[in-house]
Structure 1
């Protein structure tokens, strides 16, 4: 026995012993015979397990072969079914082509008619979606869309009733554009609350409620405009809504539901109060100065009117009364009948000079306000322009409306300044005229008294 054979046998014995030891649950052998017995028992157990595995593998192989045969049979059946379906599909394609050709042949000139009908229904549907008459007759565009979908299919044709209804909707829309009518509808307030109201529709132009509020129609719903047009428009709308006949004024927006740009322009136009607030603090100051000047001028006019009435009464009286400037001047002559002419003239001139400041009180202040008001307006304009150009520097000049709004707000103070200055100048002129008239009477009467006194002295 060679050395290689001995090594191989030792390795095999080692492997067998190792496997046998695991098979017999690592039983410890007390002798060599017992060890060989254990090895023999392990070989027998291993042979039984191997035969069981081989039997199982054979059975699995047979099952897989049967499954493969069934899959191949199913594939063959599906291939046959696919071939049959392809043949049926080609047959149906030929049949559909034949039926379509037959349909086109039978339709004849109706194809062109249905094309025009589809086009007319589409245009009418687009118009009805924004028409104000749809607020009174909702759902008309739904019928037209369903009809268009029906005519777009190749297997359905419109009925005579449907074609007649398209003509009817066309005629009704033409009629409703020239009708002023009332109907009840649900209207949303600016706060979002919906409630039924009586609505007046003026043709295809505007919708108002009985209170004169203008309404908007969008996506099938009515809502009150959050900002109503200023001026007489809402009053006219209310009068028309409550009128029973005759001619009535009404502010119609000719652009109507397609944009309403005229009505929007009127609504967006600032009111006088809003324009006044655009002037800011400078505008408020100009307004305060103007009110003060107006009140001062009215007060001085009332005072001078009363003084003028007393002076006129004094002219008709022979006795001096000290409740008016002329009476107080005449009293100087009455109190000094024997005074020399030069002294009397000085005394009378002093009396006139004493009365003049009272008569001219407030005139200087009115003149100053008339001169300062335009300057204050210019100050507000300059500061407003500075703010506008700063905004342009930050945000750019891409929005001309924003620039125009800023410049318009800046010019408001100039307008306010002129509105204060022009009436103040006129009031100053009127008040000054009344004061100068009284002063002229004082000078005239003083000169007359001096002449009479001089003439009397010469005769004596």
Structure 2
């Protein structure tokens, strides 16, 4: 910004609208007014210069310090002009110095830039093969990562398959009776099934050997000393015999394997005597060939056999009606047996009498008929036949005695069984009405009585029917023989009569 200066010239002054004054003349009022305006303009210029100096000189850390024009106020326009010129010159010098420093710094930066570019080119030439090697390494690393991911997935699948197979094998072998002999095997298989890392070679071999050992033991009969829990809860140590994977028994009887506790239990009730005899003979025999009991269900059948009710328990389930049925059945069996024995003895005597018809005996029906026939009068043939029939009919009650009673018992036994069935069902429905059908044990008594009475009635009726048929056949056989002999006597009587009438005519 330039300062406003009034220049006074000597001589002629040209200008439109200006007053001409002679040379050397001073205009006092104009000078004073210009001076005041110059001072005002000077203050404004100083203030602006100070602001510009603070704005441009302070960031460049300039060492030069501009003196405030307010410190020394000029006393004339000429002094003000000189001061402004000095300040302008000083600023110009400072700007030249700054420009010089900037140019020097720019040259230095250019040199550094050129050095950096040369260094960059040098490094680029050096890094080009490394870049290609890095790209190849990156591609190889990506391929290796992909391969590693696939192999990791395969290994995880392998670990999952191993854990699954180990768990299945552990569950299967835990149910095996061999586990009672080798309890450590269950702990090893449980550890394999719970592995969280990849299995080692030893783990794979352990799993394989456990499966192979189970297959081998399934065909072996092993005798070892082991422990089992008897019916009283005491632990007993004895010689045990294991037949494959199916049956374990001791001298006391069959043992039941409990997988949950890995123990052998001696049931309080054993199967029937023929199975226990096989166990006893096995334990006592020293022969290489023996008969053994095998339960293909691994103890389930033997357990069911041990829970099978005995005959006394069956009768107890049938109740009072079952006892009555059995009593009637026993009575019918006694009567049938008595009649069979008596008729067989009579049949034997009749057969002996047939061999000696000429010497009849009163110890058998045929002999008595023959004796009675020998004492009959021969005057009338019709009367003779009627008397023979009467003699035969006299022997029939003794031969047919007890048949109707056996038949009655055979008919009553199923009816009593039906009565027990109805009674048992009534008890069952009463239990349902009182307690509901949620607990089957409440209905077991009535259903057992209903079924067992029917079974006992049929069991009694069927043999009694066969016995009745057999007794009837024996008595009919004897009656038929008596009829045959009476007919023979009648024929001989007619022959004798005809022979006697022929001789009388000839005479």
Report the CA distance shift for 1:159/1:285 in structure 2 as closer, same or farther (over 3 A): same
Deviations 1:360-381 (A, max 9, x none): 1111211211221221111111
Name the structure 2 match of 1:445.
485
Q: Distance in 2 between matches of 1:443 and 1:119?
A: 87
Distance 2:219 2:375 in 1: 89
Match of 1:281 among 311, 320, 339: 320
Residues 76-113 of structure 1 deviation map (CA, whole Å, 9 limit, x = unaligned): xxxxxxxxxxxxxxxxxxxxxxxxxxxxx9xx969858
Structure 1 CA distance, aligned partners of 2:214 and 2:376? Answer: 99
- Provide Cα deviations, 1:321-351, integer angstroms capped at 9, x if missing partner: 2222222222223234555434444433332
Task: Work out the CA distance in 2 between the residues paired with 1:202 and 1:165.
Answer: 24
More helix by share: 1
Alpha-carbon distance change, 376 to 122 in structure 1, aligned in 2, over 3 angstroms: closer
The aligned counterpart of 2:255 is: 214
2:318–2:452 Cα contact (<8 Å) kept: yes
| Aligned counterpart, 1:229 | 271
Offset at residue 138 of structure 1 (A)? 2.6
| 1:21 aligned residue | none
Counterpart in the other structure of 1:132: 177
Structure-2 change in CA distance of 1:443 and 1:173 (3 Å) = closer
Whose RCO is larger (CA < 8 A, sep 6+)?
Answer: 1
Q: Which residue of structure 1 aligns with residue 26 of structure 2?
A: none
Q: 1:406 to 1:182 in 2, by over 3 A?
A: farther
Number of residue pairs matched by the alignment: 346
Can you give the 5+ residue segments of structure 2 that lack an aligned partner in the other structure?
1-147, 502-507
Distance between the aligned counterparts of 1:225 and 1:111, measured in 2? 48
Conserved? CA contact 1:321–1:328, under 8 Å: yes
* Change beyond 3 A, Cα 1:448–1:220: closer
Does the 8 A contact of 2:350 with 2:364 survive in 1?
yes
- Provide the rounded CA distance (Å) in 2 between the counterparts of 1:249 and 1:292: 41
> Normalising by the residue count of structure 2, what TM-score does the alignment of the two structures yield?
0.58
Contact map agreement 1:282 1:377 (CA 8 A) in 2: yes
**Using the alignment, how far apart are the partners of 2:329 and 2:244 within structure 1?**
48
> TM-score normalized by structure 1?
0.63
Comparing 340-349 with 273-282, greater Cα deviation is found at: 340-349
Question: Quick one: which of 424, 435, 450 aligns to 2:475?
Answer: 435
- Residue matched to 1:74: none
Q: Secondary structure at the match of 1:250?
A: coil
CA offsets 1:161-186 (integer angstroms, 9 cap, x no match):
67765665454345434433111012
Q: CA RMSD in A?
A: 3.8
Is 1:183 aligned to residue 224 of structure 2?
yes
Q: Which residue of 1 aligns with 2:295?
A: 252
Aligned: 1:398 with 2:438: yes
Distance 1:324 1:117, change over 3 A: closer
User: Does the aligned pair in 2 maintain the 1:216–1:223 contact within 8 Å?
Assistant: yes
SS at match of 2:406: helix
Q: Which segment drifts farther, 390-399 or 341-350?
A: 341-350
